[in-house]
Amino acid sequence: MITAKPSPSEFTPVYGPVSSWRYGKSLGIDPIGEISTCSFNCVYCQLGEIELKTEHRRIYVPTEQILQALTEFSPWDVDVITLSGSGEPTLAANLGEILMGIKTLTQRPTLVLTNGTTLCDPQVREQLALADRVSIKLDGISTAQLQRVNRPVTEINLSQLLSDIQEFSRIFPGELGLQTMLLSPWSESERQEYLRWVKAIAPAEIQLNTPTRPKPLKHELAGRGNHSPLENLPYEARKLKSVIPSVLQDFAQEIQEQTGIPVRYAPVFTL
């Protein structure tokens, strides 16, 4: 049975808390809204197919609405408050206001999950730097990989994207992570090129993952939170191809040995 899509009146910009293998107990903030909106349409997206594919920034959910909803979750007994939700959070033009408001209201650490495509914008870099932690998606080291896995709105200038991530790493005072999703094992040349850029970006940690969440067959707002096994979901979804645990383990070991950067990788089944 497929659950009905929530009406706008049922949308809440705050959800969870959810349990994260990377960040512990996380309270979610959705600055994008009911309509999934992103500059990527990743083949593994837990939201299903992205409804609005765009690179344009605007205010999707007013800051006041987010902070009002956040007060209802007081006293915020969580490890982190995470901006992600229904798409790419840096597309929200009020990102800086949201981050400052959360910090003032809750005094809890903030995290932003981003695909990095807006980091060419100095205003985005300035606003994003207000977060305590930022995790940037890097699912491939060639244009072909990124086109196949992330399906961007427009063709990616990979050199520019990597340079933008490197520049943000240089100015960001908080903790920067790189998150990489493996759908299949990488070649030796792909791994070596990835290691070269990891050294240049110098993140605090690397997070390796493989698709273990079922993907909804259509957009599902419930995909923002934790997922149950495929057979227990209240909507239609499909299991995605993933790599075996030893592939993550071996790549993690290679990264750590060659860069000295800590690597965490997903357990066999992640929520």
What pLDDT digit, counting tens, does each position of 63-121 carry?
A: 999 999 999 999 999 999 999 989 999 999 999 999 999 999 999 999 999 999 999 99
Alpha-carbon gap, residue 121 to 55, rounded angstroms? 11
CATH code assigned at 238 = 3.20.20.70
Sole residue written with tokens 């990616």: 156
Residue 3 lies in a domain: no
What angle (nearest 5°) sits at the alpha carbon of residue 193, between those of residues 188 and 194? 95
Residue 5 lies in a domain: no
Q: What is the total count of domains within the chain?
A: 1
Residue 271 lies in a domain: no
In this prediction, residue 227 carries a pLDDT of 57
Strands (E), the chain: 14-20, 24-29, 37-38, 52-53, 80-83, 110-114, 133-137, 175-181, 205-209, 215-216, 237-238, 263-265
Residue 4 lies in a domain: no
Residue 9 lies in a domain: no
Stretches where the chain sits below pLDDT 70 are 1-9, 222-223, 225-234, 267-271
Q: Residue 5 carries which DSSP code? A: P
In this prediction, residue 215 carries a pLDDT of 77
The three-state DSSP-derived secondary structure of 19-83 is EECCCEEEEEECCCCCCCEECCCCCCCCCCCCCEECCCCECCCCHHHHHHHHHCCCCCCCCEEEE
Residue 6 lies in a domain: no
Query: CB-side exposure of 103: number of CA atoms within 13 Å?
Result: 13
Report residue 271 as tokens. 């929520």
Computed from CA positions of residues 43, 145, 56, 177, in that sequence, does the dihedral angle turn out positive or negative?
positive
Compute CA distances 141 → 73, 146, 185, 195, whole Å: 40, 7, 13, 10
Alpha-carbon gap, residue 180 to 122, rounded angstroms? 24
Task: Identify the bridge partners of residue 19 per DSSP, sorted by sequence position.
Answer: 25
Cβ contact 145:194 at 8 Å: no
The pTM score is: 0.89
3-state helix, strand, coil in the chain (%, to 5): 35, 20, 45
Q: Which distant-in-sequence residues (6+ apart) come within 8 Å of 75 by Cβ?
A: none
In this prediction, residue 4 carries a pLDDT of 35
Residue 103 lies in a domain: yes
Alpha-carbon gap, residue 35 to 50, rounded angstroms? 8
Is residue 151 left, alpha or beta, with left meaning phi > 0 and alpha meaning psi from -120 to 50? left
Residue 7 lies in a domain: no
Q: Domain residues for 127?
A: 14-265
